[in-house]
Amino acid sequence: SVEKDKIFKSTCCYCGVGCGVDVTVKKNNTVTVVGDKDHPVNRGMLCSKGMNLQYTVNDVSDRLLYPQMRYNKNLPLQRVSWDDALNRTAAVFKTFIDKYGPDSVAFYASGQCLTEEYYVINKLIKGFIGSNNIDTNSRLCMSSAVTAYKMSLGEDSVPVCYDDIELADCLFVTGANPAWCHPILWRRVEAHKAAHPEVKIIIVDPRITDTCGIADLHLQLNPGTDITLNHAIGRVLIENGAIDLEFITLHAEGFDSYRELVFERTLAESALICGVDEENIRLAATYIGAAKGFLTMWTMGLNQSSVGVNKNLSLINLNLITGHIGKPGSGPFSLTGQPNAMGGREVGGLANLLPAHRDLANEEHRKEVQKFWGGTTISDKAGLTATEMFEALHDGRLKAIWILCTNPLTSLPNSRFVEEALKKAKFVVVQEVSNTVESLQYADVILPAAAWTEKEGTMTNSERRISHLNKIIDAPGEALSDAEIICMFARKMGYKGFDYANMEEIYKEHAKLTSKTNININGLDYKLLQKHNTLQWPFNKKTEMGTKRLFTNHLFYTPSKKAVIYSPSDQLNSEMPDQDYPFILTTGRVRDHWHTMSKTGKVSKLKQHTKEAFLEIHPEDAEAIKIEDNQIVIVRSRRGEVQVRAKVTTTIKKGVVFLPMHWGKILGNDLNRANNITSNLIDPLSKEPDFKFCAVQVEKFIKP
């Protein structure tokens, strides 16, 4: 139990902004949550989601309280002990591994796991089971940015820090709605603009969102035309002489091909493709050219695309050709979606990574990690990524999947396919906090997990800032922390090296494995993190200092130490609209909900802002198909359908419709679920799904 009326430090468990919170435990073991005034990220502020965190903690009515299991698919689940649940799971996993090989099992985890949890899952499957079948829902979030950073800068390394916001005089925000999705970060932008009205804000988005409120220029482009637009801006920057030739010559390569590429289209052609005015492209380039500090910020609009990596590369190029990287107020800044997506990548928690940003394809790296872990030979075969896992369940290559801390039936594209895959799976383990998660209905084993405030560990936010989260209250029932569950299972499998005395031992092991890498945090422990109230990697043990900004010496992590200016094609590979499916569907978020609502859906205050799913449609489109505002419509793609109310609005472009992604199965009805109809195309390099573009038809719902 915990001390009464004590204030504990923690970090908000929602988005990648990573706001600090003070959690007070009251006598009756309930908590209150306020913003941490001393925290460098939020300085005491919280957004609507963060402000209501206490309700998600205090309401345990939806919690899974004890392990459950069924002995075959026809039998109901029944309560069992931890020993029984994990003994059986270990026996089933061993059988599949012996019979079909280690690649017959997989773990599908989450950007909301703590770093220690990610670390032990990754160690278990890569280092001991001998498969790289571990992926997370971060694959749906920013794997395109990760790939593009690696290609152009040599490593998945966000070069900037939040303090660069106040030092920038031009902010280019594209494929993002931070006013709703990264609210506290956006408040810093708003305050900066209010104090310095001369600062230019350029927003690129097919929708008019709240983020556009402070824009000097909104480029309302056609969906999917981001690369064409970025190239066109690059062209005008070159024409205007607003590029940094010294930086390009000394610190970058690939400029000549890039220059050739961006001059292939005239500005008028690009403007037509993008659906924006030529003059506004010129204006954007003028703002960028005049800036001393130029910050590009982006998220899902660029990442969640079948050409997500190319979109990212085309944007990073704007920073590279202007030399706006590695200096105050400048840099390409991918806004992390989830609270610990960055931490997950630090420990190598994706199908193609090894700890500390090491490469799975590199034999030396594999040997190094294998020696450190003392387990089995690490396979050189890349593991299955998020959508590939469900394809492999479908065609029988994968026999068992262990899903933790994520809700794939609501969050993965093409939900009907995911449903079929889970039905076909031979063995499904769901390790979860809440009993509302849809995949539970397909589980053979259910393992109750501890939630935020009930376990100790660390997370890393968008700006590489690591924070320590205290265990503040006990988990209800028999729920255990994710790391404890995984270590117990590993021991049942007979593996050595999973008998940690506490979470800090896991953290120290992870930190040690980062030594001599670019994310070095060797020597960092919980005491130091608490003492400094967060630190940014890489960390210097001698000075006890973190690192605000990367590449200040303009030496990049590529073999040549130069940044690479790529020349990505602007061809789009999405499912294009046609006569039968004439609209482009794009999906996104609403202000007060998070992901699939297993937390925010519990808070009545948060449900007030947007009560149900809806379809945004332009008035001219609505009129053409005789739809009125608030009427129920059927939105259909080649994969399924959704039935929601129409929201007729001029904030969306003609020919484009928008659905929020949060709603899943509610009271047995799954017709609100946007992913019933989204496309299962993925980017060939990042394997990130194309959530922002597919062809749909819309018609009035007529009661049968």
Q: HSE on the CB side for 89, CA within 13 Å? A: 33
Segment lying near ligand SF4 (by CB under 6 A), choices 46-54, 84-92, 121-129, 139-147 = 46-54
Cis peptide before 538 (omega within 30 of 0): yes
Does 47 bind ligand SF4 (CB under 6 A)? Our answer is: yes
Residue with tokens 């940003």: 357
Whether 435 contacts 420, CB under 8 Å: no
User: Is there binding between residue 183 and ligand SF4 (CB under 6 A)?
Assistant: yes
Q: Phi and psi (nearest 5°) for 643?
A: -125, 115
Cα angle 478, 484, 490; round to 5: 120
User: Can you tell me the distance from the alpha carbon of 517 to that of 348, in angstroms, rounded to the nearest whole number?
Assistant: 13
Of 15, 57, 97, 342, the residue at the interface with ligand SF4 (CB under 6 A) is 15
Question: Which residues 6+ apart lie within 8 Å of 5 measured at CB?
Answer: 24, 25, 26, 27
* Binding flag, residue 17, ligand SF4 (CB under 6 A): yes
Helix spans in 240-307 (H): 245-251, 255-262, 267-274, 278-290, 300-303
Write the CA distances from 229 to 1, 210, 272, 281, 420, integer angstroms.
57, 22, 10, 8, 39
Cβ distance to ligand SF4 smaller for residue 183 or 329: 183
Total residues contacting ligand SF4 by CB under 6 A comes to 14
Site string for ligand SF4, 93-132 (x = CB under 6 A): ----------------------------------------
Give the interface segment with ligand SF4, choosing from 39-47, 115-123, 164-172, 402-410 (CB under 6 A). Answer: 39-47
**Least Cβ distance, residue 181 to ligand SF4 (angstroms):** 8
Task: Tell which one of 18, 301, 348, 601 touches ligand SF4 (CB under 6 A).
Answer: 18
Using CB under 6 A, which of the segments 42-50, 140-148, 571-579, 654-662 binds ligand SF4?
A: 42-50
Among the listed ranges 124-132, 180-188, 286-294, 407-415, the one in contact with ligand SF4 (CB under 6 A) is: 180-188
Shortest CB 301 distance to ligand SF4, Å: 18
C-alpha 149/C-alpha 343 separation (Å) is 16
Chain residue at closest Cβ approach to ligand SF4: 50
Q: Which residues contact 321 (CB under 8 A, 6 or more apart)?
A: 234, 237, 238, 243, 244, 248, 252, 255, 258, 565
**Cβ pair 312, 147 in contact under 8 A:** yes
Asked if residue 19 binds ligand SF4 (CB under 6 A), the reply is yes
Task: Determine the Cα–Cα distance for residues 151 and 156; give it in Å rounded to an integer.
Answer: 9
> Residue 46, interface with ligand SF4 (CB under 6 A)?
yes
- The residue from 23, 36, 50, 387 that contacts ligand SF4 (CB under 6 A) is 50
Q: Contact between 14 and ligand SF4 (CB under 6 A)?
A: yes
Q: Which residue, 182 or 455, is less far from ligand SF4 as judged by CB? A: 182
Stretch near ligand SF4 under the rule CB under 6 A, chosen from 14-22, 84-92, 383-391, 487-495 = 14-22
State in angstroms the smallest separation of the CB of 460 from ligand SF4.
Answer: 13
Q: Which two tokens stand for residue 313?
A: 């590369």
> Please, what is the minimum distance in Å from the beta carbon of residue 387 to ligand SF4?
26
For ligand SF4, which is the closer residue by CB, 49 or 345?
49
What percent helix, strand, coil does the chain show, rounded to 5?
A: 35, 20, 45
Should residue 49 be labelled a site residue for ligand SF4 when binding is judged by CB under 6 A?
Answer: yes
- Which residue number, 42 or 567, has a Cβ lying nearer to ligand SF4? 42
Positions in the binding site for ligand SF4 (CB under 6 A) = 12, 14-15, 17-19, 42, 46-47, 49-50, 182-184
